[in-house]
């Protein structure tokens, strides 16, 4: 059985408010990690939800752009579709257009998953890049300062999809995963033990399409093969959900927009 975890969830009226809270978490995580360890290492997800947050981080009119010490940030991805960086399905492309092309993050600090390669090779090269970036030795695994996740309406997170092989991989840092449910059926993803080693893990989840799955993942029976997001229980104990009202509609009422759930 999994370790017990306290989940803190913050509910906002609209997606722009979720994005602003997420941008604030991103910026504060970089500042804190840079002050504590001289470097911040953050892993971001793709999909559609994070785009608005990336745009806020890149907007000079917002406080985040000047708050963030860009030269102290190493940016990684939680997962990538096995497509080239120019493909419309590429998480990297979305991030480059919304964020990277507008901020002074040095290219050598952007650790893209090379989706244009064969999946196994892309996963191996990404794992090597992480080992190198974190100066890992032997079987050490990386501790990201912040890992930002999304959740699909099927309960997947990262590219850990229901009933797929990557759910059983506890050996690698990154792995190729075949996802027959998806048109882009090959993905590269961080494995769940790496995600659970994150100092702070936060889900960004929005929209009524996620209402039911959010309820099932965080209040339903523990069945991670069916709901992989249930596996995410950081050893640090810091698991945050940033939600809009639509997604949070089936969670217990909050006090001033903040609620907690005990996951047994």
CB of 187 closer than 8 Å to CB of 32: no
| Longest CA–CA separation in the chain, Å | 48
Which residue stretch of 25-33, 56-64, 146-154, 239-247 sits at the interface with ligand 6PG (rule: CB under 6 A)? 146-154
Q: How far is the CB of 87 from ligand 6PG (least distance, A)?
A: 12
Site string for ligand 6PG, 86-115 (x = CB under 6 A): -----x------------------------
Neighbours of 26 (CB within 10 A): 25
Distances in whole angstroms, Cα of residue 145 to Cα of each of 71, 111, 260: 16, 15, 22
User: b vs e for 212-221, b when ≥16 Cβ sit within 10 Å of the residue's Cβ?
Assistant: ebbebbbeee
Structure tokens at 180: 């027959």
Q: How many residues does the chain have?
A: 264
- C-alpha 223, offset from chain centre: 21
Note the helical H segments in 116-210.
Answer: 119-134, 192-195
Convert residues 31-50 into a mask of x (bound to ligand 6PG by CB under 6 A) and - (unbound): --------------xxxxx-
Query: DSSP code of 255?
Result: B
Shortest distance, position 220 Cβ to ligand 6PG, whole Å: 19
x/- track of binding to ligand 6PG for residues 51-90 (CB under 6 A): ---------------------------xx-----------
The residue among 159 and 172 lying less far from ligand 6PG, judged by its C-beta, is 159
Among 24, 150, 234, 259, binds ligand 6PG (CB under 6 A): 150
Of the candidate spans 15-23, 29-37, 151-159, 244-252, the one that interacts with ligand 6PG by CB under 6 A turns out to be 151-159
Q: In terms of CB distance, is 40 or 229 closer to ligand 6PG?
A: 229
Q: How far is the CB of 32 from ligand 6PG (least distance, A)?
A: 24
- Per-residue contact flags (x/-) with ligand 6PG for residues 155 to 194, judged by CB under 6 A: -xxxx-----------------------------------
Residue 243 sits in the site that holds ligand 6PG (CB under 6 A): no
Question: Which phi and psi angles does 247 have, rounded to 5°?
Answer: -70, -35
CB nearer ligand 6PG, residue 34 or residue 115:
115
| H-helix segments, the chain | 15-37, 50-58, 63-67, 91-98, 119-134, 192-195, 211-219, 245-248
| Residue 202, beta-bridge partner list | 148, 240
| Contact positions vs ligand 6PG (CB under 6 A) | 45-49, 78-79, 91, 150-152, 156-159
């Amino acid at each position: 059985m999994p370790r017990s975890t306290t989940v803190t969830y913050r509910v906002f009226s609209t997606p722009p408010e979720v994005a602003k809270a997420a941008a604030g978490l991103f910026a504060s995580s970089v500042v804190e990690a840079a002050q504590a360890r001289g470097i911040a290492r953050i892993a971001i997800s793709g999909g559609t939800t994070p785009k608005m947050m990336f745009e806020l981080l890149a907007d000079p009119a917002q406080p985040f752009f000047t708050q963030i010490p860009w030269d102290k940030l190493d940016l990684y991805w939680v997962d990538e579709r096995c497509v080239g960086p120019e493909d419309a399905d590429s998480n990297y492309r979305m991030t480059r257009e919304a964020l990277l092309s507008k901020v002074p993050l040095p290219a050598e600090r952007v650790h893209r998953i090379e989706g244009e390669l064969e999946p196994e090779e892309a996963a191996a090269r990404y794992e090597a890049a992480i080992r190198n970036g974190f100066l890992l030795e032997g079987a050490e695994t990386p501790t990201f300062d912040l890992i930002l996740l999304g959740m699909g309406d099927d309960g997947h997170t990262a590219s850990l999809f229901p009933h797929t092989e990557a759910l059983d991989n506890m050996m690698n840092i990154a792995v190729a995963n075949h996802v027959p449910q998806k048109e882009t059926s090959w993905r590269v993803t961080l494995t769940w033990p790496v995600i659970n080693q994150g100092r702070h893990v936060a889900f960004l989840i929005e929209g009524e399409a996620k209402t039911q799955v959010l309820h099932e993942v965080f209040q339903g029976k523990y069945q991670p093969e069916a709901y992989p997001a249930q596996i995410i229980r950081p050893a640090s104990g810091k698991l945050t959900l940033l939600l809009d009202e639509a997604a949070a509609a089936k969670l217990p009422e909050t006090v001033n927009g903040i609620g907690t759930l005990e996951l047994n």
